[in-house]
Amino acid sequence: MELELYGVDDKFYSKLDQEDALLGSYPVDERCRIHLIDHSGVSQISSLVTGLVSAMMSHWGKTMAV
């Protein structure tokens, strides 16, 4: 499974391939998207995506809190 980070107009920013890196260590903007490429054919994507969304909401919630 691979994760890639894309920005505005589908511009490729980078692969999210460092296992121990936090999302904030990548050049993430509010208009970025994460593209998931699954090579396994096994449907474990749901729990991974749920975890990613949870982590992103937690990160952005802290940075945008007033």
> What's the domain range around 48?
3-63
Q: 5 - beta bridge partners?
A: 14, 34
Which residues touch 12 (CB under 8 Å, ≥6 apart)?
A: 4, 5, 6
The CA angle 14-15-17, to the nearest 5 degrees, is: 140
Q: Are 51 and 16 in contact (CB under 8 A)?
A: no
Residue owning tokens 């729990």 = 47
Model pTM?
A: 0.57
Q: What is the pLDDT along the chain (66 residues), one digit of tens a residue?
A: 788 888 888 889 889 888 888 878 887 877 888 887 877 765 555 666 666 766 666 665 555 444
The count of structural domains within the chain is 1
